[in-house]
Amino acid sequence: METKQNLTIKIVRELLAHNFSVLLYNTEKLEDNCGGWCWIDDDENKREFAVAMKHHMGFEILIHEYCHFLQWKTDRKFWDSTLKTYDTLFDWIADPNLETSEDDLQQSLKDIISIEHDCEKRVFKMIKNNPIEDFDTDKYIRAVNAYIWSYHINKDLRKRPLNPIYSERVLPHMPNSFNENVLYYLDKNNLSSDIRDALLVEYQENSIGS
């Protein structure tokens, strides 16, 4: 059994050994209302790992981002292939005047969900092989569902959520099971209206963040 603190230290050491800047912010969210990132641009010689540690799921975000690092480290072909189109959706969201074909948006959405789903499978494998003290797996699974499904809504609304999507008011409405097959999450027909309605709260301007 591993403690959260020990695992955090091990992860930071490993990232530093791989020349990452490790930015553990004492905040609830980062820019663009996200909880963290693992950003690698070897052309620019930049490797950055950031987490909003004061988020109520700060440790879980750290584990998630670490598994992106593992994707990059152990499956570079997959990592590179999905990153090619990863920005298409978010550039289109950020710039209302940008014209992007539906095919390109669909490809981007598919790539994003594929890399995120693979990342979550790594998280579940890691916590199974190396259990973490006081890790709330039920909460994590609900957050994963919120996170993966939110990409469909990002595309539908051409908008990002205003808060990290796995908020305390969203989680009780999320499924507490994870589907190992990425095709399940790629099919928008599996996004129920209950899940959708719960997630939409985090896209509304007048709502108070949690």
- Give the nearer residue to Zn ion in terms of CB position, either 60 or 116: 116
* Distance, CA of 190 to CA of 89 (rounded, Å): 21
89-118: which residues touch Zn ion (CB under 5 A)? 116
- Give the nearer residue to Zn ion in terms of CB position, either 115 or 198: 115
Q: At its nearest, how many Å lie between Zn ion and the CB of residue 151?
A: 10
- Give the nearer residue to Zn ion in terms of CB position, either 85 or 207: 85
Rg from Cα positions in the chain? 17
* Distance, CA of 59 to CA of 56 (rounded, Å): 8
Return the SS3 of 40: strand
Q: At its nearest, how many Å lie between Zn ion and the CB of residue 69?
A: 11
Cβ count within 10 A of residue 17: 8
116-155: which residues touch Zn ion (CB under 5 A)? 116
Residue 94 identity (one-letter amino acid):
A
- Give the nearer residue to Zn ion in terms of CB position, either 114 or 137: 114
**Number of residue whose CB is nearest Zn ion:** 116
Task: Name residue 40's beta-bridge partners.
Answer: 47
The mark string for 171-200 relative to Zn ion (x by CB under 5 A, - otherwise) is ------------------------------
Provide the token pair at 189.
Answer: 């027909």
Give the footprint of Zn ion on this chain (CB under 5 A).
116
